């Protein structure tokens, strides 16, 4: 049985791990993300620290049922002009957000944490900067009709590995982190832990 448990329901993270040849099981964490963020927003926050804190919370929450297993918790935050943006609940909300993101740059903060029996044993965070192009309303309507599922699945209402790439002028940062998992640093740590061969 694998020693690694992915505490996330994200199909993209699972795909990335599988494609890299990592054996793992999935046990999505039950964490109230909005309540967690709300507590952080009551004080002066740093987005990287919030993403790491939420990733750790997810790993620890899911790990209670998996003693002796290494839990992988992940989180991603989008910040637009200093404002923390949450996932959209509906396609209409996503349309409104994409109009706000159009012709502007935003930051994606991606964090991954490994815990063992409730203790954090590794963490990594990245910040990527993405700039959307000034796309037309006609393009946006077509994108929304083709990408309805992706709109509420990712925090920015786009999946860069699909048609969402057409929304952008410029992407600065690690591609895997933009997809939601800092894969290369994680693989190096899994080799160090002996889960993967060196």
What residue has token string 């509420």?
A: 152
Whole-number Å distance between alpha carbons of 94 and 148: 9
Smallest CA-to-CA distance from 51 within 126, 159, 114 is with 126
Q: How far apart are CA 156 and CA 164, in angstroms?
A: 10
Active site residue 75: yes
Contact 115, 71 (CB under 8 A): yes
Token pair listed for 32:
């109230």
In the set 32, 75, 169, 172, the catalytic residue is 75
Whether residue 65 contacts residue 45, with contact meaning beta carbons closer than 8 Å, is answered with no
Catalytic residue numbers read 75
């Amino acid at each position: 049985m694998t020693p690694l448990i992915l505490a996330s329901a994200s199909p993209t993270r699972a795909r990335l791990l599988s494609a890299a040849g990592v054996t793992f099981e999935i046990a999505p964490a039950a964490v109230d993300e909005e309540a967690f963020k709300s507590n952080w927003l009551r004080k002066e926050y740093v987005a990287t620290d919030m993403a790491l804190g939420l990733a750790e919370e997810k790993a620890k929450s899911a790990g209670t049922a998996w003693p002796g297993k290494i839990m992988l918790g992940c989180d991603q935050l989008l910040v637009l002009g200093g404002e923390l943006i949450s996932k959209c609940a509906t396609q209409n909300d996503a349309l409104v957000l994409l109009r706000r993101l159009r012709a502007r740059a935003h930051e994606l903060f991606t964090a991954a944490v490994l815990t063992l029996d409730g203790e954090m044993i590794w963490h990594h965070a990245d910040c990527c900067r993405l700039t959307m192009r000034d796309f037309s309303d006609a393009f946006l309507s077509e994108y929304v009709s083709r990408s309805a599922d992706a709109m509420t699945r990712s925090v920015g209402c786009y999946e860069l590995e699909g048609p969402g790439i057409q929304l952008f002028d410029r992407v600065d940062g690690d591609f895997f982190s933009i997809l939601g998992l800092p894969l290369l640093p994680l693989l190096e740590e899994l080799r160090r832990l002996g889960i993967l061969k060196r």
